[in-house]
Every structure is written in C-alpha cells, then in structure tokens.
Structure 1
Amino acid sequence: MDLSIISRTGGPVLFWRGPDYDRLDLTGPVVANWVNKGVGLFGDYGLGPDFTLFVPMPAGLHWRELVAILSVLLADGRVVLGAGSQEDQADGAAASADTPTALDGDFHALVPLGHENDERLAAAEEVFVYNPPALALSTPVDEDFIDVNSAIRAYPDVTPRRLQATGTLLVGDEEIAWADPADDSGSGILVANSTPQPQEWATFLDHLLRGGESVLANGMDDARVADLASSLGEVRGRLGSWTK
C-alpha cells in the first residue's frame, strides 16, 4: 500500500466532522498532499526506522492525526497509538496512568492543543501540537512545542521519498498487521464516531488508501453520524465505540 491509488481518486474520500458543526471534506489527492507534507515535516526530525510517533488521541481521531499517522507509517517509521475505546478517552486520569510500554526509548508525540502538558509526554524529544478547528492556520503554543498547523504548510505537496507500507503500527503494546490488504476493501463507506478499535485499524487504513470513503466524526451524536453517512451512500461498516 502507498499513495498511488488515493492520489488519483476523484471526489471526497475523507469526511471530517468535529464539534460545533466543524467540517471538512478531503479528496484523495488532497489527503495524499497532506501526507507528503507530513513526511517533509517529520523528515526534519529523523523520520525513518528509528523514529517513533506517539499519538494518544485524547479526544478521538482527528483528520490531522490521521495524516500524521500515515506520514510516519508510509515512510518506514513507527506509530504508537493510545487506547482505542471511547471510555478510555473520556477517562483522562486512567489514560495518563496507562502509558504504553512500547514508548521505552526515544519518541516524539502529536497532541491537540490543550494536551501538550500531558505527563505521558514528559520524555518526548519533541511535542507536535495541532489546533483542532478544521481550517485553523496556526496553533497558539510557546517555543517549547511545534505548531503543526503552521509548520506543515511550509512543506511541498510531493516528496522525493519512496513511500510504501513499511512502518510499524502499535495500539498500546499490540502490534497491528496494518499493511496486509483486506479482502473486502474499497466499496461502501466506513463511519467512525470515535477512534477505531485496535482490530479495526488494518481495515480502515486499507480502505482509505484504496480510495474508499470514510467519515470521521468527533463530537457528533450517533444519530447525526448515522444520518450523515446514510446521506453519502451505502454504509459498509462502523468503527469505534457506538452507543447500543
């Protein structure tokens, strides 16, 4: 898997819906461009086999986090994600005490604004902080942190690197075989109302990189997420924790 398919996919493939009706629809080429920019940004900090990016995702999966995850995974890096359940994300105290042991050694971190002082990040070499509003151009952080929204825009939409599925993905301490192609990928819409569960990441990333449509909803109630997905087409499956 690489960006060769999604970079030629017409129409939106990623529908981001955030709190307060924040929204962004990204085409395949635009997603690919952002991933290439991320490769450029993290490349300045040693992106490769010895590079680890910790993404705790305290408020669910954001489109900027997804771009960063793909940038590292496709450039032979290592991504460690926090716990995948909505309950874990809501319990900040429990999450802080549950730092993955996979973070032993040097690592970098990516968090939304307001979480840059999380105690789990104390040992990070660099902390990349993004501003969650969909089109925010900068992040108001001091010089101890890296403003992702501003910094990433300085990098080109293409990269001279050969990108392929050579990176390592861990959810907590569980390694995910994300690079193995799924048999039923590509058709229908995948809908996430929170961070995907560990066993869902391989299907999700394969679906996206093959040009399949996905909805990421953060802060929307289940009924609105379901209505949105139904209005876009046939729903193939749901990711994350759903209220029964």
Structure 2
Amino acid sequence: MDLSIISRTGGAVLFWRGPDFDRLDLTGPVVANWVNKGVGLFGDYDLGPDFTLFVPLPAGLHWRELVAILSVLLADGRVVLGTDGSPAPDGDFHAFVPQGHEHDERLVDAEEVFVYNPPALALSTPVDEDFIDVNSAIRAYPDVTPRRLQSTGTLIVGGQEVQWTDSPDDSSSGLLVANSTPGPEEWATFLGHLLRGGESVLANGMDEARIADLAGSLGEVRGRLGVWTK
C-alpha cells in the first residue's frame, strides 16, 4: 500500500469531528498531501528504518496524529502507539503529542517532541523553543515528496507488532466509524480502508448520536472501530 490510490480519490475520505463541534472533511488528495508534508518534516530528523515515533494518544486519535503515523509508516520508519499509559519505547525516539501533553514524563528522553494544536484549522502551536510547533512547521514542506513511499514501516500497538498491511482487498467498501482510537486488531482494517480510498469518520469527543447521524447521511456503515459505550 502507498498513496497512489488515495491521491486520486475524489470526494472526502476522512471526516474528523472533535470537541465543541470542531470539524474537518479531507479529500483523498488532501490526506496524501499532508502525509507527504509529514514525510518532509520528519525527513529533517532522519526518517527511515532507525527513526521511531512515539505517539501516546492521550486524547484519542486526532487527524494530525493519523497523518504523522502514515508519514512514518510509508517512509520505512517505526511507530509506537501508546495505550493505557504505556511506557515510551526503548532506545532513541521522537514523540508526537497534542498541546498540553508536551511535559509528559514519558517524553523526557525524547530526541525531539513534536507538538500540535488540536483545533482543526489552527495554524500554529504556542509552545516554547524546546518543542517543535507541528502546525506551523509542517506547512513549510511540499505537497509531494521525491521519496518512494510504500508500506515498509513497523507499527507497534500495546507492545505488539501489528501487521498493518494485512487488510482484505475489498477494504475500501462501506464506511468505517471510530469513536475512539482503533484497537490493535483494527489498525490493518482502518489503514487499508483509508489508503484504498474508503471513507472514515474519526471522532474525538463527539456524541455518539451525532456520529450515528453523520454516518447515516454518508452511506452504508461497514464497521465500528474502537471502544463504544453502546
């Protein structure tokens, strides 16, 4: 898997809904452009087989975290997702967190801490010089990358390596709806679905009734990801 399909997919493929009615609908080419920008940003910090990005996910999966995860996985890097306060990875690593979590004690040994401002259209992140303002920095990189991107990266969830490329060939059909971070066994389905141009609703702090209404207006729901209360 790579960006070849999603970069040519018309219409919105990722519907992000955050707290306080924050929202963003991203087309396939826009998702691909953000991933390419992420490759450029992390490329300045030696993105490759020896690059590890720790993503603790303290507030549930955000669309910017998803872009960062794909940028690293498609450029042969390693992503470690935090679950239930799991520790930082051993060895050298970088971290990617929302504003307000940059002082997490697990990040004290990180080589660099990338901090994003959660509101959908925030252009910058007010952090001091010890941290990297993702919202501002990533916009400086081009929408395309000269790198050959392919699914060669490593994904670790809950201490277990996830075979994230093992998704069914028909995984672009229907709509995937997530009300929290996908579980370890769901990442292959989720990423395969997205990269093949499938539609996904990614919610963060959104009422379940609103998610159901939105999903119902978009089409047939293929599946629900993450933990739901009902």
**So what's the TM-score if we normalise by structure 1?**
0.93
Is residue 149 from structure 1 mapped to residue 132 from structure 2 by the alignment? no
Shift of 1:181: 3.4
Q: Distance in 2 between matches of 1:11 and 1:239?
A: 22
Q: Distance in 2 between matches of 1:234 and 1:152?
A: 34
> Given residue 151 of structure 2, which amino acid in structure 1 is its aligned partner?
A
> Given residue 163 of structure 1, which amino acid in structure 2 is its aligned partner?
L
Shift of 1:219: 0.5
Instruction: After superposing the two structures, state which structure 1 stretch, 41-50 or 176-185, moved more.
Output: 176-185
Shift of 1:227: 1.2
1:34 alignment partner, SS class: helix
Is residue 137 from structure 1 mapped to residue 116 from structure 2 by the alignment? no
**So what's the TM-score if we normalise by structure 2?**
0.98
Shift of 1:180: 2.3
Q: Distance in 1 between matches of 2:65 and 2:186?
A: 16
RMSD between superposed Cα atoms in Å: 0.8
Gaps of 5+ in 2: none
Q: Distance in 2 between matches of 1:243 and 1:22?
A: 22
Q: Deviations over 1:6-28 (max 9, x none)?
A: 00000000000000000000000
Q: Deviations over 1:55-102 (max 9, x none)?
A: 00001000000000000000000000011xxxx4xxxxxx2xx315xx
1:25 alignment partner, SS class: strand
From 103, 111, 114, the equivalent of 1:117 is 103
Q: Distance in 1 between matches of 2:164 and 2:42?
A: 21
From 158, 173, 180, the equivalent of 1:194 is 180
Is residue 2 from structure 1 mapped to residue 2 from structure 2 by the alignment? yes
Q: Distance in 2 between matches of 1:54 and 1:175?
A: 14
Alignment of 1:163-202 (within 5 A): 163-202=149-188
Q: After the TM superposition, which parts of structure 1 deviate over 4 Å for at least 4 consecutive aligned residues?
A: none
Q: Distance in 2 between matches of 1:121 and 1:43?
A: 20
From 87, 92, 98, the equivalent of 1:99 is 87
Cross-structure match for 2:13: 13
Query: How many residue pairs get matched?
Result: 230
Is residue 207 from structure 1 mapped to residue 203 from structure 2 by the alignment? no
Shift of 1:220: 0.7
> Given residue 15 of structure 2, which amino acid in structure 1 is its aligned partner?
F
1:201 alignment partner, SS class: helix
Is residue 229 from structure 1 mapped to residue 229 from structure 2 by the alignment? no
Instruction: After superposing the two structures, state which structure 1 stretch, 21-30 or 172-181, moved more.
Output: 172-181
Q: Distance in 2 between matches of 1:183 and 1:10?
A: 20
Instruction: After superposing the two structures, state which structure 1 stretch, 230-239 or 178-187, moved more.
Output: 178-187
Q: Deviations over 1:140-178 (max 9, x none)?
A: 000000000000000000000000000000002110000
Is residue 65 from structure 1 mapped to residue 62 from structure 2 by the alignment? no
Q: Distance in 2 between matches of 1:200 and 1:184?
A: 15
